[in-house]
Each structure stands twice: as C-alpha cells, then as structure tokens.
Structure 1
Amino acid sequence: MRRNVAFDCILILLLGLLCFGATPSRGEETATPGKLFPFVLSYEPTDSITNISEWLDRPAGKHGFIRAENGHFVTDAGRIRLWATNLCFEACFPTKEEAERLARRLASLGINCVRMHHMDNRHIWGKSPNKLTIDPEMLDKLDYLIYQLKLHGIYTNLNLHVSREFGPAEGFPAVEGLPNYDKGIDNFEPRMIEYQKKYARDLLTHVNPYTGTAYINEPAIAMVEINNENAAFDEYRKGAFDHLPEPYASQLRKLWNAWLKKKYGSDDALRKAWNAQRQPLGEEILKNRDFSGQWEKVWNLQRDNLSEVVAEVIPNGFQGKPALRLRVIRNGQETWIPQLSQGGFSVQKGQVYTLRFWLKADKPGRIDVNCMMNHDPWQRLGLSADVQTSAEWKEYRLSFVADRDDPNARITFSQLRPGTYELADVSLRPGGVIGLEEGQSLADQTVPIVPARGPQMTAAARADFADFLWELERDYWWGMYRFLKEELKLKPLVAGTQLSYSPVHIQAGLDYIDSHAYWQHPVFPGRPWDPENWYVRSLALVNQPGGTLSGLASRRVEGLPFTVSEYNHPAPNEYAAEGFPMIAAFGAFQDWDGIFSFTYSHSRDYEPRKITGFFDIKSEVTKLVHMPACVAMFYRGDVQPATQAVVVGMTREKEQSILRETLNPWALTADRLGIPANLSLLHRVAMALKEPSDSVPPPTLSAEQKVFLSDTQQICWDVSQPGAGVFLVNSPKTKLVTGFPAGRTFNLNGIQIQIGETELGWATVSLTVIKGDGFDRPGRILLAATGKAQNTGWDFRKEGDRVTVGRRWGDEPILCEGVPARIVLPVSSSRVKVYALDEAGRRRDAVTVSGGDQAVVEIGPQFRTLWYEIEIQ
C-alpha cells in the first residue's frame, strides 16, 4: 500500500470540528414553507444563464479521438472528462426533428456524452425477421441522432450487448431457464459469441451517411462497451449456472472437464487433488424429523407482521408418515420470510454433513436451503443451496463441508414464494460423499461443475473452478477486444463490462475501467420489475458517509481511466436531488474520468411535464437545475483532485487467491484489502495491479469520526449531528450545501448560506459562477435551491423509510417546493442584482438585495422558482 503524504495530523484536527465555519443560526427565521407550485423546465434552450452549451467543444471529436494516457482520458487538446447520460431502448431512435431538439437540450445541460443503452433489445432490429440483421430504417435514426450529438459537442458511447436475447428465430430453441439476456452464457456459447461479432461488424463498420465516417473511424465515438453487467463469474455467483437447461449445461460441463483433463490427466489424480471423501453417515442430529406432536417447540416458523402463512401437519402426508404443509399467502418485509428452521446443534470445521429431505410444491420453483449460524451475524456455515421444487415428491441429498466451528447452528428453508409446500423426513447426519461420486469421470466428461448454491465441493475443487472461470472470462473478453481492435480496426476506446461483475485483471486488459452504482435502487418483493409491488427506501445518502460513493472509489484501478456509466438516486426517493451534485464533487476529487446519469430517457416521450419513473431524469427538475453546478465541479474542474493517494496492491496472485476462497468478483475491491471505505472522503484511493514499492500499513479511521474534510479542503461531509448530515463543497467558483441544515449557517470562504425551514428539513443549494472569475468579481452566478418535488396527484405511500406510488405515478405538472434561504456575498449590495428565473431560465422577477458592504439575498417560496441569477457588476 502506498501513502504519498502523511495525513495523520489532519485526522486528529478534524475530530469534533464543524466544517468551513458552520455555526448555529441567529436572528429571525427565514420564510416558512409555502405550498408546492408547478415548475417544469423548458425543453427548448434559451440564451440564458442556464444554457451552458458553450462550455462544450464543437463538434465532438474536433481534437481527435479520446484515448487513454497516464490513467486518464485525453484528446489532442489535453485532458477531458465526460459528464454524461444514457438513452435506453427506443429513446436511441428518435425522428430527425426529435434528434435535433434532443441534442440541443442535452448540450444546454452541459452533457458531453450519451451512452446508447438497450438499443439491441428489439428496436434496432425493427422489421427484421430475427435479431441478427439490423433494420436499415432504425439504423438511419441512430445515425442521425449520433450526427446531431456530434454537431453539438456530444460524444457517443456505443453498447454492443445489453439485452438482446436469442430464441428460436435465431436458432436457439432451448431458452427456458436461461439467465436474462443470456448473461454469462454468451461468454462461452460459440454461436452467441459469433453473433456478437457479427452485430459489432455490422454496426461499427457501417458508414454513417450524415458524417461520412464509419464508426470504427469516428472520433465522436468516445468508447465501445462489449457487454453490459454480464460476466460468467457474476452469473455463477448468483447460481445461474447451477440449473442450466441443455445444451448449455453440457457445453459448460465439457469445457470444465477439458480444463480438468488438461490440468490433472486422470480421475485418480483429480480425486487425490480434490481430497475427495466418502464418509459413513453418523448419528442423526435433528429432532422431530417428521413434525409429530408439538412440532413448533422444535421447529421455528419465522413470520412478521406482513407475511401470511398457514401451517398444518398432514398425518399421512408422505409414505404413511406426517408431512408439514406450508401454504404461503404473502411474503414478509424480507423475501426470505416466512422461514422454517431448526437450530441448537453444533458443527465442526472440515466435517462432512449430509442434509436429506423430501419435498414437493404445487408448482415448479426454487427455495433456499442453508446451514448457518443460529445467532448474529447469521453467516453461512458451508451450505447455501438453491433447490428446484417439483409437483411430485422428490428426495434431496445435500452433502457439504462445514467451513468453521460453531456451537449453535441451524438448518433453514426460506425464499418460500406464495404457494403450497410439503416437507417430510428431514435428516441431518455427519458423513457423506464430497468430491467425485460414482460414475463421474473425466473420460466421459461427467464431472459436474462446482455449484454456487448447492452441495458444497472441497476447497480444492472450488479453487479449481475459480481458476477455470477466470480463464473462460479472459478468453472471452480479450478475444472480443482483439476482434474489435485488430480485425475491425476500431479506433475508439473499448471496455468489457463493469468491474465487480468480472475480475480486475481481466477488465484491466482492456482500455478503461467502468462501474455502476445506485443509491436505494427499487426493490421488488415479488416478481422482478412488478410495476405495482415495489418500493424505494427514502433515505438521504448525506446521513451515511461514503455510501455508494466510497464503494465506487474502491473499484478504481491505478493507471487506467475510470468511469461510472450508471448512477442515480431513483424516484420517488424524497432526497434524490442530492445525488448528482454529490457524485460530481466526489468524482472530481477522486479524479475520475466519466460520470453518466442513468438515464435521460427510456422512451421517445422526450418532453413530459411529470416524473415518468424511477430513473428518467429528463423532467426531474430538482436534479436538472443543479446540472450546471455538476458540470462545473466535474467537467470544468472547479473541484480539485485529491493531493494525496492511498493505493493498495491487487496482484494477479492476490486476486486469484481471493477468488479461490470466495468465487465472488465483488470481493475484489480496495476496501476488502485494508483501505478503510471512508478514507476515500479524505484522499484518492485505488488498486494497483502490482504491489506498490513503498507499501506501508493502511491508515486507520476512528469509528467515532463524524466529520470528513478532503485533503484539498474543498469538500466536507459532516454527520456530527445525528440524522442531520450535510455535504459541503467550497471551491472558488462553485459552492454547494446539501443535507439537513438544522439551523446552521455555512460560511464557505465568505459566502454565507443559511437555509430556512423546509417540509423535509432538507434541501440542496448550489451557487455556480457561470461567467466571471469568482464570487467577488464581476460576472453572473446561477443559484439553485431545491427541496420536495412530486407529480400532481401521485399515490405516494410511506411506511417507515419505504415509499412507493405503485402504478399511480400521477399527472402533470410537477409540483415543487420553494426553498427559503439567506445568501450573503462578500461584495457591496450596490453591485448586486438578483432575478428569479422562469422555467426557461429567463429573468422573470427582481429579488431585493439588502445589506451594505456584504450583499444579502433572501429567496423563498414566494418567487415560485427553483433557480435565480445573481449578477455582480
């Protein structure tokens, strides 16, 4: 680990301090909250302070291709960062008029790159009979959009595979049971890989008639992404490979057996290396195996106030013996409730155990069966199985090796979806078969894959499977990269997939590193993406230092550009406006290279006057009014990069050691290697592909630390007041306060910000010098202040911190809260004029400026706006 400059003294000085001179407020309260008012930003840019399109270089690519040098994106003009967004599905295929308006709007927001996402789902195929031939009409729409974006200074990120699924029309009849979008399978299935190459060739070598250039030679194409959130390692981790249909199960097994054959040569050598064991079964461990009598004194059926389950014992339910019938009507607050368990027994590390039971259900499905701690922290003890249910009685035998000693373990049956289940003759005994079973041989390629969620193999077998998956992925990603770069001669940069889905050293073999994160992503307790049954946790990131941002920082790889191509705080989180300003400041401090909001639009409804879903930001006014501040902090560089770096080594040997133990690429992060997660709030952090030569022990952070001041002194994250966190940015040309002001006044180098009472006790306020050299010099400043926002008449329901609107997102227009605030500027009031701006960013009403040597500006709900222009003469 490398620490460039000592910083221990900073940590000591920070303890107990408030940042940037924050003090309790004095004097009269500012205005009380008013009623919500309609406010929807105009979709036609005007020549106003809010239009920052002139910050972009036009056309995109005028300075040559974006390339990777010294760990960053550069062009012939020097360093470049991407403040970007996504378009999804049919949004990638507008009409010509829509493309022109869309490009103007995006440029006015300062967006300089668009990621074309999910365009391979169905829309690009148009009228084609299958998903193998691009529809020329749809391609023409994409071409014109990319042309318009280029003219307006906006680069394009082309995603090759996101959500195309192969089926009978493409020659893949057996698709039932495959992962969504063929994820993981298309890393090794030969025909799928060839069709990926065909699509890449058809798309990238095609000449855009509006630019006259093929995409392989187009400098306005910033990068190409091979496969979104799609890696064999990650799909395996989730159990997707445990129950593959044919022929895919056989394809994977044959690849695995060929790998083992090459390494070991024979069954005997394999059996010896894997420490294969066959132990006689010992004494029974469980009590009341047949649920007779007062079974609930031994077995625990865990419920909560939301779950509904009816339990009864059927006297002759199974082969003349009792069986427990569970009729699950509704799951609980967590999907694993209701849960049936029996605990109170011990397990010994290294001992083989066999769990056997009979089970049937009213319909095919899956449930989870585990051996785990019967106490906090409730960790697994060697068995974590995903078993398939059947409408007929079926016997299950799960042998596993306990991975630690534990005096109080339990067996659990969970993830019982609504339906009826019958369970009988449950047994747990020491002993069983681990490793190769009778009839399994390399000669006939019948050695099964090591299941992710099932009977656990030996540690040696798991280590081998980790190495096998690593090589399988390496061959896929590096093979696709060579195809693009060497065969197609693609000049733009190329990434594989997002880090943590795939190992570090594999993705580092391409041009840059990418990652994704969401703060409080929607949760679907029932079926995935059910538009009625979902919730979002309405929590403020500002109260949880680091959060998603520290997690992203821990995936940075030293020496390679780093982007976050998806990020959002999804609606209807009440605090969502904090998200983009926080990641813009944090990303600039960490010296990242690109941040993409997810998403601008999922459809061709580009100009709604209401919030249309979880992710689309096109109309989310409380996010958009702070966009100039975000662009200034990240793209313009108002927030300085960290002065100090803490780097930890992630060598190939260390990576494979972690994977052999965990089979989980999500464990390959800097915070798992000793760097405290919140250290990224103080310094830049990264992983190096080799051990730093000046490695030192990682610094420590006190668990009691509540104030985090960046080493540049420009960012402060303060949670010293419980439940009232604030995130502050104090740069020469951008100021930001987001969080719970709790009566404090924030002094940011002479700019005082005091936020009054709001409906949530929370607000986001940004001040950005749009033209000029500072807050005390002649120029124009954009002030944005946001609080609560909602659609008209949406069905907003809140239970604890969980919020939902179900299907009822409401009507237009968006209704917003006017935030009361008092701003003091270090210039004479005679030099200052302030205007409330309308929805198009034009001056509407004059705002009174008071004070003498220091100008005092008071804004509030009476102005019925979210942004203001401050002119200093």
Structure 2
Amino acid sequence: MTRPRRGLLPRLLLPLALAASLMLPASGQIAERAWRGMVPREASYFRFEIDEDALRGAPDQSALNTPLDAASRLFVRDGHFYQVGADLAPGTADDRRVRLFGVNLTFGGNFPDAAGAVALARRLRKLGVNAVRLHHLDSLPSDEREAPLSILSSGPYPSFNPVAVARLRHLIDALASEGIYIDLNLHVGYRFRPAVDDLPALDDGMTMPPLDAPIHVYDERLIARQIGYARGLIDGLGLRRNPALALVEIDNESSLLNAWHNGHWSEAIPSAYAPELRRRWRGWLQQRYATLAAACDAWGGCDDGPDSAARLPEPGRARGQGAQRRLSDFLEFLAATDKAYFDRLRAAVHEAGDPLVPVTGTQMTFGGAMNFDAQASMDFIDEHIYVAHPNYPGGRGDAGRWRIPVLSASADEMNRLLALGQRRDRRRPFVVSEYNEPFPNPRGSEIIPIMSLLAAQQDWDGIFFFEYSDSATPPRAPARFNLAGDWGKYVLAGPSARLFRTFGLAPLPDRIDLPLAPADRLRIGLSERADALEHDLHERLGATPELAWRGRVAADLAPAAASVRLPAPGQGPYATPDGAVRFDPVAGRLLVDTPRLWGLFGTTASARLGTEAAWMQFDAGGQGSASVWLASLDGADLGRSRHMLLSMGTLTLGASPGAAAGTAASAAAGAAAGADPGRPARIVPYDGDLRWLTLASGVAGGDAPPRATEPPTWMARLPVTLGLGARPGVLRIYPLDGTGQRRSGPRLPEVSSGPSGWTIALQRDAATSSPWYEIEITPN
C-alpha cells in the first residue's frame, strides 16, 4: 500500500514552541566571536558508536527502574506526583514521590514490531528513562500495515488502524515491564477532513484546517468525536486502571486563547463554523448580563445597537465605545470556552481510564497567562521550550533550506530556561514535556544535564526530551531532534536521569511566589506583547529570571496581597544558596559541585575549573565548550570515591547523506560535493552569515543542507586534564567502548600522581579517546 509522504513529517514537527523571540548576536566582530566560541575551527574527531542493545556496565542506569504494578499508579498530592503504594490507596503513609525523566516518541517511533518494542523498552531503561510521551499518534492517518505512522486509519475520525493499535499496546506492556510509564497525547496533529469526516467545508477550498486552528475546541460535533477517540484509544490500548498510564495531555499547542494572540484568528473561525462560536458568545453574555442590552450598558454602549454585542471581536480592531471592557469580556469568554473543552475531555479520560490519572489541557505558551484560568480544573501544568530551534527562511519541509541561530543554553538562552518557573502554578505539578537544543548545535549535548539541574533545584515533576526517535528503527547517526544516534547527548542522559530522579541535587529551600491574581492575568491577556507575562512580572514586581538561582519560582494564582518583597538576584556570577550550582553569564559556564556529582557545561577556560576533589583544565586552542559529568558509582562522596564514571558529551556528527552509502554512484556524488565517507559532515555558516549555522550539503550540486546524517559517527575530541584529590591506592582509568565495557588493548590515558592527588590527560589522541571513562582506585 502507498505510505504517507515522508515530506509531511518535518512539516508537522515545525509548530514547536519558541517561548521568546530569538536574540541574535550583533553582526561583525561580535558575531564572529560567537561563532568561534560555538563551532571549533578545526575540531579533531574520533570514531565512536554506541550499541544500545548491548550496553551494560557503568553507563547502564537500569537499576533505577522496577516493573510497574498496581502500587505504581500515579496521582497528584501536595503539588507533585506520587505512587499510591502497596495499600493501593492515594493519600496514605506509603505514598512515594516520583519524578518523571522522559523522552518523546513520534510517528512511526510509536509502532515498533513485537521484537522492536521489547528492545526499545530495554534501551530506554538503560538510559534512566521512566516515562515515554506518546506523541503524534494521530497525525498521519493511513491504512499502512507494515510500518504504520499513525494510530488512525484513513476512514472517518476516529477510525483506528488495528495493526497500529496492537503494536502500541504491545509497546506499552513492554515499557511497563521495564518500569516505564506513558504520557498519552490525545489531539496533536489530526486535522479534520470535511470530505471524509462529513463536516461542513472550509473556506477558500481548504481540504483541512491549519494544524493549530482550534475549531475542535468549540464545535460540538468535533468535541463529541474527540471524546469518542479518547475512549476508543484508552480501551483499545488496555489502559483502564492500567498503572502504566501516568499522564494524559488533551490538546497539543492549541487553544482559542492562543489563536487570538498568535495572529491566526481568522483560521479559527471559518465561515461554516463561526456561527457556533457566536452562539456560545451570545449565551455567555446573556448568562453574565441577562441581556445583550445590559452588556452594552456595562461596556458604555455599542455603536450598532445591542445585537452587535454578539459579534466576534477581531484582534487589533477593537474601536469605539466600550472596546476595552468588551475585549476583557471576550478574553474571559475564550478562556471559559477553552476550559469547558478541557473539562469535558478530562471527564471522559477519567471515566474511560482512571479517575486518578493526572490530565492537562495544553501548554502554557499556547494561551498565555489566562491559560491558568482555562486550565483551572487540570491536574498539572505543562510547557515546551527549545533552545536554538531550526528556522526555515527558504520554505519548510525536507527540501527547504534551514538554519540554526548561534545560541546556546549555557549562555544566551539560560534566562529563557530560568523563566519557565514563571509559568508554573505552585499548587500543581509542573512538567516540561518537550525540550531540546537540536542537532547540529555544537553545544547541544548540554541541554539534558542543564534541564535536569534546573528541574531538580526548582523541584519540577517531569521533563521529556524531544525526541528519542520518530521511526520504528531509531537512527544510528545524528538526525534532526533525535536522541538516538546523537551520542554526545546520549552519554550525558544517564547521570542526568539519576540526578533528577533520585533527588541528587536538593531543591532550593526558599519559595518565591509571584502574585498573579485574576485581574493580573486578564490585564496580561489584553496585552499584545509576545512577552506580556514576563514584562508584567518585571514591571509590577521587579521579577527577573535570575530569581531562580535564589529559590523555587512559581505563580501564586490566589495571592493574599498584590505584591511581595522579592529577594534581589544580584549581579552575576550567580550561585544557589548552598553553592552547589554556579553560573557565570559572561563566560557562559555552569558548574555543578554536589557530594557525588561534579559537572561543567558551557565555555571552557585555560584556568582550572572545579574543586580539590575534582577539577579540569582544558588545553588552549581546543574546542571552546564542554559538557561533562563526573559521578560517584560506589555511593561515596567524590573526594573519597574509589569507583567513578566520567561522561564527556561533545559535538557528534555522522557522514553527509550519500557519502557513506554503498553504491559507487552515491560515493562519487559525495566526493564531487566535497563529502568524504571517511570524515564527518561539516557545520558551516548559513549563506556566509556567522549568526546562523547549518550543515554543508553532501550531494553534488545540492543546494539544500541535510537535516540528518548517516553512520559512521564521530565525536569531537576535547583535550583536557582531569584532576582528582588524593586518597590511598592506585588509580586506573579505562576508556569504555560503545557497549560500556572497558576497551581492550594496551593504550590507556596518561596518569600522574603527586601529594595533592592525580592528574589524567584525556582525549589527547584517538586511540585513548572515549566519551566514557571508568575510574577505579584500588588498594596499594
């Protein structure tokens, strides 16, 4: 059978959240310095590939998980996620707090065959993953049986593809047996098809509405079908009272509030559907004011008489009498309509699945401050964030040219990550269900550790990397948003999971509650600023993102007072009160020093960085950034530990597509374009502009840069000296291979000892280079 066009995949992946406008470095010398600090001039690489199925030993985090059972059911208690415990009852003494360290699966990644499902679940367990977000289940309906990309068939919504249902059900069982929950996403990418779904036609001959047009939020026919979809999906996947079902998300990145603010309002009200929203608006006004005339009186008059009160306002065109009060009412109406939709779907999920399962509506960016009102009945708050998301100035899709801004989490974008807490409700769990610093950002390996650190010290409840794979066969070289194949990110996931899940970094002791009363939320909702929430909190309270270094930041939606006395964040460098985390915004460097975990993320330096127990000194002229974890494996503090794992995440590249293919023609084409199967793909400025980067084309005469690479894979070497404090014994350090085992052969890194401890020369040459080093100190 004909498979859905692959070109749809990247197009559907594009509407991902950018929580603020891109802040690019200035042109000229500043841009050149930023580029040189991000992209090594002449990086030296070593070949390295990870065999996820064979992985064992020190990098394997499988021990964090145990199979899910009835005692594992999740529920919300005291603003966090808990397991019900052995007594199977929530709210009792044996409840146990749980944090979710997750990844996304999308499209075909949700539907491996039986053997692939078991293998996938085991791979994810080794990474320390305990939750998988099942995303884009509904986006590409088809009748494909061999390799389904959607849970839906081509029939009227909701018609299920039986092969996809069976495969996903098997995957959920496999995940549960490995101690991994699921986050079930309902409406994500399905676009109603009037001709197929027996619905009124859209305007301008459109066959489907735009991806984020929220017609489905207010049209009764579509709401009823979504309730049917939710019930059918939960039943078909065997999720009724199933402890594997941890979370449910109703609607991805879409709401009426968002459509009002994002400039696409006309797409939300096509002519055949707008009457229903007008009917609801009229009813809302009559419920509030009794009559339309009374509404006009409250607004100070209606220019065209009482009946005109029921017209739908248009963004940016509110004029005449009572415009401000009228817009205030309309925004409250939109929030109420979003809320009614979320509430009905939540009730259906609880009835069909489990009354305990936590449910959320949509992400906070996609609706703004009044999303708190729309989601007043939801069980947790969700958000998305991306650092240096790809941009498509020449058109979107596989053939479109793309670029990435020269930005990084450890420098330019740190404040955007810190500001996430301003969208958190103190009373409910907070989850970031999508985050990434996508390939080929040279500093992309830093994002999982940095998010794990911030989430731990802010005491968030779940973080989900986007994504592990969008295919049933995961890639083996870096590609787009995937974690599989991007070994620079992969090697740092395990220690990050352990830190976050085991509370290896204590939450900041102080609470910083930002008063956000209903009147404040409405005022912010009326603003046309993209950063209206952050701007209001700063203007009204003096709140800045840097407050997150001082305490756990969240919104107080029912404050006793309109203002509070906030601690002064001070000037950088910043540090948490216990000194465990330090951030230098000028250098673009984050240092972590906990008893059993030491880390460095961001710009390197010629001076020693660290403490007596553990430090690093980087070679001059090497790669300008580092992402490093040093973890104790024996439970002792690093200053006394005799068994440690050093994980070094660096830029990972595969070969340009075609360069490593097996045919003579493709090899010749790759060579003609300057690609070499014996060398990694190249990162280049986009059209000569050093503020942007992209991949060099690997096809002869090609113009479009690829978004994926092919095996084999290389990692950039990071020549560095590691120092460890003195303790009795003999130190040996072993580079690990792609299965996590000590590499065979006589060559080991050079170790020197002295009164103050040991110094170890790492990644000086390819023969001793690895992203993993196992360290043992044995008795003399």
TM-score by length of 1: 0.72
Amino acid in structure 1 at the alignment position of 2:260: Y
Question: What residue number does 1:836 align with?
Answer: 735
| Aligned residue runs from structure 1 range 335-354, under 5 A | none
Matched with 1:783 is 646
Give the residue type in structure 2 aligned to 1:70. Answer: D
Using a 3 Å threshold, how does the CA distance of structure 1 residues 664 and 821 change in structure 2: closer, same or farther? closer
- How far off its partner does 1:164 sit? 1.0
Cα displacement (A) at 1:161: 1.0
Correspondence for 2:56: 47
SS at match of 1:510: coil
Distance 2:726 2:506 in 1: 25
Match of 1:513 in 2: 381
The corresponding residue for 1:95 is 113
Q: Which residue among 266, 269, 276 is the counterpart of 1:242?
A: 266
Q: Report the Cα offset of residue 86 of structure 1.
A: 0.3
Q: Does 1:60 align with 2:86?
A: no
**2:259 touches 2:265 (CA, 8 Å); kept in 1?**
yes
Alpha carbons 1:829, 1:855 under 8 Å: kept: no
In structure 1, the partner of 2:693 is 803
Shift of 1:454: 4.3
* Maintained 8 Å contact 1:91/1:603: yes
1:575 aligns to 2:438 (yes or no): no
**AA partner of residue 246 (structure 1):** S
- TM-superposition CA deviations, 1:793-833 (whole Å, max 9, x none): 43633121211234424432222111112111123473322
Match of 1:425 in 2: none
Q: Per the alignment, in what secondary structure is the counterpart of residue 266 of structure 2?
A: coil
- SS of match in other structure, 1:467: helix
Check conservation: 2:409, 2:437, Cα contact below 8 A: no
Q: Which moved more, 1:452-461 or 1:835-844?
A: 452-461
Tell me, what secondary structure is at the counterpart of 1:205?
A: helix
Distance 1:673 1:124, change over 3 A: farther
Task: Kindly tell me the number of residue pairs found equivalent between the two proteins.
Answer: 666
- Residue by residue over 1:761-797, the C-alpha shift from the partner in whole angstroms, topping out at 9 and shown as x without a partner, is 1111211123332223354311122333322243633
In terms of Rg, which structure is larger? 1
Question: Would the alpha carbon gap of residues 815 and 148 (structure 1) be closer, same or farther in structure 2, given more than 3 Å must change?
Answer: same
Q: CA deviation at 1:172?
A: 2.5
Q: Give the aligned partner of residue 721 of structure 2.
A: 822
In 1, distance between residues paired with 2:97 and 2:313? Answer: 46
Counterpart contact for 2:81–2:99, Cα < 8 Å: yes
| Distance of 2:71 and 2:537 partners within structure 1 | 35
Unpaired runs of 5+ in structure 1? 1-31, 209-213, 277-434
* TM-aligned CA deviation for residue 529 of structure 1: 4.3
Match of 1:763, SS state, is: strand
Quote the offset at 1:604 in angstroms. Answer: 1.8
| Cα deviation, residue 497, structure 1 | 1.2
Contact 2:612 2:725 in 1 (8 A): no
Cα-to-partner distance string for 1:79-107 (whole Å, 9 max, x where unaligned): 11111100001110100111111111111
Deviation at 1:268, TM superposition (A): 4.8
- Report the alpha carbon displacement of residue 48 of structure 1 after superposing the two structures with TM: 1.2
Distance 1:666 1:533 in 2: 32
Structure 1 residue 473 corresponds to structure 2 residue 503: no
Q: Is the Cα–Cα contact under 8 Å of residues 146 and 156 in structure 1 kept in the other structure?
A: yes
8 A Cα contact 2:430 2:462, kept in partner: yes
Query: Within 2, Cα distance between the matches of 1:841 and 1:231?
Result: 45
Whether 1:254 and 2:279 are equivalent positions in the alignment is yes
Q: Aligned partner of 1:739: which letter? A: G
Between the aligned partners of 1:578 and 1:736, the Cα distance in structure 2 is 10
The AA in structure 2 aligned to 1:860 is Q
Q: Cα distance 1:770–1:671, how it changes in 2: closer, same or farther (>3 A)?
A: farther
- What's the CA shift string for 1:152-178, capped at 9, x where partnerless? 111111111111111121112424567
| Matched ranges for 1:354-393 at <5 A | none
CA deviation digits over 1:291-331, x for unaligned, max 9?
xxxxxxxxxxxxxxxxxxxxxxxxxxxxxxxxxxxxxxxxx
- SS of the aligned residue for 1:86 comes to strand
2:752 equivalent in structure 1: 850
1:464 equivalent to 2:329? Answer: yes
Say which structure is richer in helix: 2
Summarize the alignment of residues 510-589 of structure 1 with structure 2, pairs less than 5 Å apart. Answer: 510-529=378-397, 531-544=399-412, 546-589=414-457
Cα distance between partner residues in 2 of 1:643 and 1:155 = 29
Q: Secondary structure at the match of 1:735?
A: strand
1:859 maps to what in 2?
762
- Report the counterpart of residue 303 of structure 1 in structure 2: none
Work out whether residues 67 and 177 of structure 2, in 8 Å CA contact, stay in contact via their aligned partners in 1: yes
Partner of 1:650: 516
Write the letter of the residue equivalent to 2:363.
Q
Shift of 1:583: 0.9
CA distance in 2, matches of 1:671, 1:832: 52
Q: For the structure 1 residues 859 and 759, does the alpha-carbon distance in structure 2 shift closer, same or farther, using more than 3 Å as the test?
A: closer
Give the AA of the match of 2:51.
S
Counterparts in 2 of 1:658 and 1:258: CA distance versus 1, 3 Å: same
Distance 1:660 1:34 in 2: 50
Residues 1:688 and 2:706 aligned together: no
**Inter-partner Cα distance in structure 1 for 2:590 and 2:429:** 26
- Which runs of structure 2 are paired with 1:647-796 in the superposition (5 Å)? 647-661=513-527, 667=533, 674=541, 675-692=543-560, 696-702=564-570, 705-719=571-585, 722=586, 724-748=587-611, 750-757=613-620, 759-793=622-656, 794=681, 796=683
Can you give the 5+ residue segments of structure 2 that lack an aligned partner in the other structure? 1-40, 86-94, 142-148, 657-680, 696-703
- 1:671-692 C-alpha deviation (Å, 9 max, x unpaired): 5752222111222111122115
Deviates more, 1:562-571 or 1:42-51: 42-51
Q: Go from structure 1 to structure 2 and tell me whether the alpha carbon gap of 1:693 and 1:468 turns closer, same or farther (over 3 Å shift).
A: closer
Contact 2:138 2:187 in 1 (8 A): yes
Corresponding position of 1:380? none
1:284-363 superposed matches below 5 A: none
Aligned match of 1:378: none
Matches within 5 A, 1:35-434: 35-56=44-65, 58-61=66-69, 63-75=71-83, 76=85, 78-121=96-139, 122=141, 123-125=149-151, 127-167=153-193, 168-176=195-203, 179-181=209-211, 183-206=213-236, 214-242=238-266, 244-264=269-289, 268-275=293-300
- Whether the 8 Å contact between 2:64 and 2:498 is mirrored in structure 1 is no
Once the 2 structures are TM-superposed, how far is the Cα of residue 532 of structure 1 from its aligned partner? 2.2
- Provide the residue aligned with 1:361 in structure 2: none
Change (3 A) 1:835 1:650: same
Equivalent in the alignment of 1:3:
none
Q: 1:230·1:501 contact (CA, 8 Å) conserved in 2?
A: yes
Residue 716 of structure 1 and its aligned partner are, at CA, apart by 0.4
Q: 1:267 to 1:698 in 2, by over 3 A?
A: same
CA contact (8 A) 2:618 2:719 kept: yes
- Secondary structure in 1 matching 2:633: strand
How far the C-alpha of 1:524 sits from its partner, in A, is 2.0
8 Å CA contact 1:782, 1:870 repeated in 2: yes
Q: Deviations over 1:244-281 (max 9, x none)?
A: 322112222222233334444556544444345xxxxx
Amino acid at match of 1:220: A
Q: Is the 8 A contact 2:296 2:309 kept in 1?
A: no
Corresponding residue for 2:777? 872
Q: What's the CA shift string for 1:538-569, capped at 9, x where partnerless?
A: 22222237323112121121121111100000
Q: Distance in 2 between matches of 1:708 and 1:681?
A: 7
Cα distance between partner residues in 2 of 1:576 and 1:47: 25
| Offset at residue 643 of structure 1 (A) | 1.4
In the alignment, which of 616, 622, 634 is matched to residue 482 of structure 2?
Answer: 616
* 1:660 to partner: Cα distance: 4.2
Q: Does 1:600 align with 2:468?
A: yes
- Give the whole-Å Cα distance in 1 for the aligned partners of 2:407 and 2:339: 39
8 Å Cα contact 2:515/2:561 also seen in 1: no
Report the CA distance shift for 1:656/1:216 in structure 2 as closer, same or farther (over 3 A).
farther
Q: For residues 522 and 528 of structure 1, what CA distance do their matches in structure 2 show?
A: 10
| Contact kept? 1:647, 1:692, Cα under 8 Å | no
Identity of aligned residues (%): 27
